[in-house]
Amino acid sequence: MNVIVGFFIVIICVFGGFMMSGGNLVALWHPPELVIIAGGAFGALVLANPIKVIKRIGHDFPGIFKGSPYTKEMYMDLLALLFDLFAMARKEGLMSLEAHIEDPDESEVFNKYPKILANHHAIEFMTDYLRLMVTGAANAMEMENLMDLELDTHHAEAAVPGAAVGVMGDGLPGFGIVAAVMGVVITMASISDGPEIIGAKVGAALVGTFVGILLSYGIVGPIANAMGHIKADESKFIEVIKVSLLASLNGYSPQVAVEFGRKVIFTSERPNFLELEDYVKRK
């Protein structure tokens, strides 16, 4: 929602200020300039990145309008799910988790938390390491090293789409200059047409520079930044799972293990101890 609000603030302030200064919006409407700038920038994006990155940008882009799904309620669901799993393992043994982690969609424990179950990456991360815990295939230190390697891979992969959009945004002012220079070339070819026609053509050329800078710093750059924030929230969500699992593996009680996870949540989404305790009891 804040992305849409921010977009309208940029548009209203920029074009509203232009009109307040006596400008006419029609003077800024030059579709050929938009084709040169937007088309050139998109072509450069395709040229610079493999198809998997282009697809990932298309997949991640709608998410900026929905906002980050990793809210306080989402974290409370996650910690409550982890508590349920840890409590079951402590009471009935780790082998009792096997049926749940092999088919989370059919598990009554996982189905209590549909938002978490819908997050396939988080579920895959959680069940993979619970499976290792059940089989006893790794000790805490080895598992932590493996988790860190996987998280590093995830961070690097998740950052690529936003970085690619950011690079495209950085190039937009350059394409604006390209459009302006091409407009000047057209103007020089019409130098004998009189001051009014020459003035209109120079104005059209300058619009290219304006559009390139506006798209770069007012729209595309902020979009890339917003994509990065959502990926940072996703990484933090996975980190909470990691810390909780390691605490449980090291022998801490379910309540203490989820407290380890709670402490690494960003303060803006972190529930306090009593909130989480009450929520877990109710669930």
pTM: 0.86
CA separation for the pair 189, 221 (Å, rounded): 35
Enumerate the domain spans of the chain: 28-282
φ/ψ (deg, to 5) at 238 = -70, -35
The pLDDT of residue 111 is 93
The pLDDT of residue 149 is 94
Q: What is the DSSP letter of 271?
A: P
The pLDDT of residue 138 is 67
Low-confidence ranges of the chain (pLDDT < 70): 137-138
The pLDDT of residue 187 is 81
CA separation for the pair 201, 188 (Å, rounded): 9
Q: How many CA atoms lie within 13 A of 46 on its CB side?
A: 6
Tell the residue number behind the tokens 């699992």, with chain if given: 245
- Residue 189: CB atoms within 10 Å: 10
| pLDDT tens digits for range 213-262 | 999 999 999 999 999 999 999 999 999 999 999 999 998 999 999 999 99
The pLDDT of residue 137 is 67
Q: Which residues contact 181 (CB under 8 A, 6 or more apart)?
A: 205
